Amino acid sequence: MALTDLGIRPIHSNALILLERPGLEAARIVRQDRERFRIQTASNSISGEVSGRYRNNATRSSDFPVVGDWVAVVARPSAGTATIHNLLPRFSSFSRKVAGDNTEEQLVAANVDSVFLVSGLDHDFNVRRIERYVTLAWNSGALPVIVLNKTDVAGDLDEKIISVEEVASGVDIVGVSAVTGEGFSELRKYLKPGETVALLGSSGVGKSTIVNSLLGEDRLRTAEVRGDDSRGRHTTTSRELFLIPDGGILIDTPRMRELQLWADEESLQGSFSEIGELASNCRFSDCRHESEPGCAIREALERGELSIDRHQSFLKLQKEIAYLDRRKSDSNYEERRHDRALGRMYKDVQRHNRKNK
């Protein structure tokens, strides 16, 4: 298999050369089950694990490989195993904040060109959730594409598309149906040879069905959704990468129980570009958009040009990102304080050893 078919880029090949270690070869992570990996080299699909040195040098969970990553490995084809020694540079990565109170990044997929943000057009349709996905996607460095699945059951399809367009300016929207086949020819336009697409969405939106349709075979197990709320028993339990027969690469991911933001103000501006444009027209550059005269945002709200729900959603996400930034700063401070404490302890041990020689 040519590594270009797997999506390797010069940024990965050049980094491998710079390592200057005999026996190393490039491989891509194609499946991840917690700390167990399936990797694909130019000649073999084998299991892989990180080396002891790699594990000891990793300080954060995001330092470990995820599906889509390129790694430098020493392969043992006869044993069907490989040791992962280095993580090669990422040109994009889709992340969220880990569930719970910890302020830590959780990588979902890496080296992705486009992200299919899948939403069902049944009872589980949620515009506010789509906003959050779009904000995360802009932060990833990948191109977001909103996929509205189950067009065959959407009686108010045009209205729902308009509501999505209002919260995702400039983002491509594709309506699809696995039942009728509608929209799949348009989806395949993003699946170019050597390019990677990741699918993200909540339970019951039909991601596995979309993957099966694009693969042309029932590779992934699917399950019926409940009729009352369109929620389903999620059938994808691990992240996995698939090669499309006609070219292109798909990454399927388990549903996200909590879609907590790991983004910055720039990503928010990308997702709410119309609010940023309005703010640039305020009379005062330091306008807080509260009671100042000449506030373009307040004027747009009064005229009905900007919906109250859209503005409230922006303010909510803005506060969430500001809180995340403060937590990141606190975490960095604690990490530096911990490092300083270890440094002092190490020096005390050295002094003690010198005294007792």
pLDDT tens per residue, the chain (357 residues)? Answer: 799 999 999 999 999 999 988 899 999 999 988 778 999 999 999 999 999 999 999 988 889 999 999 999 999 999 999 999 999 999 998 877 655 556 566 788 999 999 999 999 987 788 888 888 888 888 888 999 999 999 998 878 899 999 999 888 889 999 999 889 999 999 999 999 999 999 998 878 888 899 999 998 776 655 444 444 444 444 445 789 999 988 899 999 875 555 555 566 666 777 788 888 888 899 888 887 877 889 999 899 999 988 888 888 888 887 777 766 676 665 543 444 444 444 454 445 555 555 565
Q: What is the CATH number of the domain that holds 54?
A: 2.40.50.140
8 Å CB contact between 197 and 191: yes
Specify whether 66 is located in the same domain as 119.
no
Specify whether 213 is located in the same domain as 81.
no
Specify whether 247 is located in the same domain as 120.
yes
Specify whether 73 is located in the same domain as 200.
no
Residue 282 lies in a domain: no
Q: Containing H/E element for 4?
A: none
Whether the predicted model's global pTM rises above the 0.85 cut: no
How many separate domains does the chain show? 2
Specify whether 117 is located in the same domain as 81.
no
Residue 301 lies in a domain: no
Show Cβ contacts of residue 52 under 8 Å, excluding neighbours closer than 6 positions: none
Domain endpoint, select from 42, 58, 87: 87
Domain endpoint, select from 222, 252, 282: 252
Query: What gap in Å lies between CA 335 and CA 41, rounded to an integer?
Result: 36
Q: What is the CATH number of the domain that holds 189?
A: 3.40.50.300
3-class secondary structure per residue, 33-96: ECCEEEEECCCCEEEEEECHHHHHHCCCHHHCCCCCCEEEEEEECCCCEEEEEEECCCCCEEEE
Residue 102 lies in a domain: yes
Residue 49 lies in a domain: yes
Strands 105-110 vs 114-120: parallel, antiparallel or unpaired? unpaired
CA distances from 52 to 36, 49, 58, 85, 305 (A): 14, 9, 10, 9, 58
Show Cβ contacts of residue 182 under 8 Å, excluding neighbours closer than 6 positions: 151, 152, 175, 176
Residue 283 lies in a domain: no
Helical residues (DSSP H) of the chain, grouped into ranges: 10-19, 52-57, 127-140, 157-167, 184-187, 207-215, 265-271, 273-279, 296-303, 308-355
Instruction: Give the relative orientation of helices 157-167 and 127-140 as an angle to the nearest 10 degrees.
Output: 40
Specify whether 81 is located in the same domain as 97.
no
Domain endpoint, select from 87, 114, 146: 87
Residue 263 lies in a domain: no
Specify whether 131 is located in the same domain as 234.
yes
Specify whether 75 is located in the same domain as 105.
no
- Which domain, by its residues, includes 176? 93-252
